[in-house]
Structure 1
Amino acid sequence: MSETSAPPVTGPLCTRATLAAELRALGVSRGEILLVHSSLSSLGWVCGGAEAVVRALLDALGEDGTLVVPTQSGDNSDPAEWTDPPVPQEWWPDIRAWLPAYDPRTTRTRGVGVIPETVRTWPGAVRSAHPQTSFAAIGPRAAELMDGHALDCRLGERSPLAHLERAGARVLLLGAGFASCTAFHLAEYRGPAPLVENSFAVLTGGGRRWMTVREPAISEDRFADLGADFEKERPVVRGSVGAATARVFALPEAVAYAETWLPRHRPRPA
């Protein structure tokens, strides 16, 4: 009887120490604020998995640095908009009535990878209040950066992105592309955009509530093209961490560049 062999292990071998050293060589500095978009699988074989990556990031940032990650949970949304997969229309009322409300302590991330989920559950981590587009942070400035995330402002002026901009944070794309760069959405909020209805389950003083708000539509359409032009024209440090391509750049500069790029290359109706 033949046995199906496991696929061969692919490297390089990454450890907490090697990752921290490569992050420092890339320019990650002690004491800074760093928004990280990541792909664990892009790094190679990581001894310790996502926990080792988080520890390496914290090592590079030091005790005075603050690590921030997106901890999105887009499945807390109107089932009428679900396409992956869609659900029968006759289920919609029950889903709206019983979908668990967002709780920053327990609601799991979706679609952002295992590293943000590890940060979310890290001792001392602080998570912002939006039920779909939250962020989580570890470090001395975590609470102030996560504060005041409005329910009708996914990624705009009353979200952690605006706090990060004012604080002069930098972005690390760790095996992730510019299509994942949430900072570009802050520029979207500053241009004309159609308003859309957005629904989710939240916890209030009176208990669970299904809420609908109106806010600007957002889209990652052409973010990869935006990032490619930004990298050509503005300072972006590019290097390797493990097997991953990594990029580091200033968040305020990325937002400012997107504010001028998006109206020219991706016009949207008011």
Structure 2
Amino acid sequence: MRKLDSPPYRPAVDEATLTEEFRALGVGPGGVVITHASLRSLGPVRGDSRTVVRALRAALGPEGTLVVPTFTPENSDTSPVYRRRVRGLTPEQVAELRDRMPAFDRRRTPALSTGRLAEEVRTHPEALRSDHPQTSFAAVGPLARKIVSGHSPRCHLGEHSPLARLYDEGARVLLLGVGFASCTAFHLAEYRVPEQPTQEYHCVIRVGGRRTWWSYTDVALDDGDFTELGMSFERSGASVRTGPAGRTTARVFGIREAVDHAVTWLPSRRPGRGT
């Protein structure tokens, strides 16, 4: 007999079940979906991340396109990841770490910070990836090339990035076991609010086969208030569909609605910015 204090047994979720749950959330045939996911929150899945990708693609059908962020802050000294890594190190240790930081390679550099689902899509045989050395995206499907092409290395998440192409295509956002703090789409709004502050970014790239540091200036990205922004978005009456996916809860909504709401919300919540 099961002990009274033991959690009830729940079988691992399979591809067919996940496919139906994604469809119920509004991930439908022919659509374009950008997904942010915590696979841990889904609970046991038969086949792990590969099954989740197969289920998403099954829900989208052969005419649908799946997109994920494949960000790489590990090769930058202006990222929070770097600041955490060097905390408490001596100057000599910092110099050694910097010498070991890998140059970005669109075909090979893993997306360690964006989770197992992103890596599953990035390494898919049909996947295409954008060129930005810090904030690339990977996509699978008929519109993959259109979405990831032309990602300017001087534009993280603005008009010359896949986010703008997703906006143009009327894509939907799937937050799978994560909250609005992970909603990359809101960053596009930062570029659409006038007079946003900028900062200089540095990262390691490869030029002519040689590893080199590269600097560029772009909008100073800030996701610190995205949870509050997302709550405001939901309260606005926007069409946000919420439902189960495995053992977690997922949200699906239109990227255009989310970005447009953020463009009106951000100026009043960030004093001195966008005025």
TM (normalized to structure 2)? 0.90
Equivalent pairs counted in the alignment come to: 264
- In the other structure, the counterpart of 2:190 is 188
Deviation string 1:106-146 (CA, Å, 9 cap, x unpaired) is 10112211110111101110011111111100001101100
Please tell me the residue identity of whatever aligns with 2:265. Answer: W
- In the other structure, the counterpart of 1:75 is 74
| 2:129 maps to 1:127 | yes
- In the other structure, the counterpart of 1:245 is 249
Q: 1:80 to 1:72 in 2, by over 3 A?
A: closer
Q: Percentage identity across aligned positions?
A: 48
- In the other structure, the counterpart of 1:29 is 28
Shift of the alpha carbon at 1:193? Answer: 2.2
Q: 1:108 to 1:206 in 2, by over 3 A?
A: closer
- In the other structure, the counterpart of 1:109 is 111
Match of 1:266 among 257, 263, 270: 270
Q: Is the 8 A contact 2:35 2:175 kept in 1?
A: yes
Cα RMSD between the aligned structures? Answer: 2.0
| 2:146 maps to 1:144 | yes
Please tell me the residue identity of whatever aligns with 2:50. Answer: E
TM (normalized to structure 1)? 0.91
CA distance in 2, matches of 1:242, 1:121: 23
Shift of the alpha carbon at 1:94? Answer: 4.7
- In structure 1, runs of 5+ residues without a counterpart are 1-6
Q: 1:9 to 1:111 in 2, by over 3 A?
A: farther
- In the other structure, the counterpart of 1:17 is 16
CA distance in 2, matches of 1:90, 1:262: 41
- In the other structure, the counterpart of 1:200 is 203
Deviation string 1:29-64 (CA, Å, 9 cap, x unpaired) is 111100000110111211111010001001101111
| 2:85 maps to 1:85 | yes
CA distance in 2, matches of 1:65, 1:74: 29
Which piece of structure 1 moves more, 223-232 or 73-82? Answer: 73-82
Deviation string 1:87-112 (CA, Å, 9 cap, x unpaired) is 43334445445422111111011221
- In the other structure, the counterpart of 1:3 is none
| 2:43 maps to 1:44 | yes
CA distance in 2, matches of 1:80, 1:134: 15
Match of 2:225 among 218, 222, 225: 222
Deviation string 1:132-174 (CA, Å, 9 cap, x unpaired) is 1111000011011001111111111111000110111110111
- In the other structure, the counterpart of 2:3 is none
Please tell me the residue identity of whatever aligns with 2:49. Answer: A
